[in-house]
Structure 1
Amino acid sequence: MAQQDRSNNNNELLIPQAAQAIEQMKLEIASEFGVNLGPETTSRANGSVGGEITKRLVRLAQQSMGSQFH
């Protein structure tokens, strides 16, 4: 797959088996934030959930990497 092809699909999971865990994380965060996900949800609300998913995934990666070097 060419570099350009990969950059056009930001929603493609590199590890498809992670889809269920990502979906569960999304639902948990939406619940924590009081966001009802659906077609009527505002971009701002969806963005807050997506941003929090990103923060948590980065934190998990940093913890994983940190434990490899100790």
Structure 2
Amino acid sequence: MASRSSNRLVVPEAKEALNQFKLEAAKEVGTPLTNGYNGDLTSRQNGSVGGQMVKKMVEDYENRIK
């Protein structure tokens, strides 16, 4: 049975921008993320990319409300 992802973009046109953001975050934390297959990366590496993305989003929000 094929799994269905519940991760749906609210604005589908933003997909490319989100992918670029993810690649930039990966570069900042030193994770060799690519546009293709990344199944050889560890959970820790993938988690560091997600954590960096959240950190940057929070910083951006804090700068906007000042």
Say which structure, 1 or 2, has more relative contact order (CA 8 Å, 6+ apart). Answer: 2
Letter of the aligned partner of 1:13 in structure 2? L
What's the C-alpha RMSD, in Å, of the aligned pairs? 2.0
Structure 1 or 2: larger helix share?
1
Match of 2:44 in 1: 44
TM-score (norm 2): 0.68
Query: What amino acid is the match of 1:51?
Result: G
Deviation at 1:59, TM superposition (A): 2.8
Q: For structure 1, which runs of at least 5 residues remain unmatched after alignment?
A: 1-7
CA distance in 1 between partners of 2:15 and 2:58 (Å): 16
Sequence identity of aligned pairs in percent? 41
Say which of 27, 30, 39 aligns to 1:34: 30
Give the TM-score taking structure 1 as reference length. Answer: 0.65
Following TM superposition, the consecutive aligned residue runs of length 4 or more in structure 1 with deviations greater than 6 angstroms are none
For structure 2, list consecutive stretches of 5 or more residues without a partner in the other structure.
Answer: none
- The amino acid that maps onto 1:17 is E
- Tell me if structure 1 keeps the 8 A contact 2:22–2:53: yes
Q: Does 1:17 align with 2:52?
A: no
Shift in alpha-carbon separation, 1:12–1:58, aligned structure 2, 3 A: farther
How many residue pairs end up in the alignment? Answer: 58
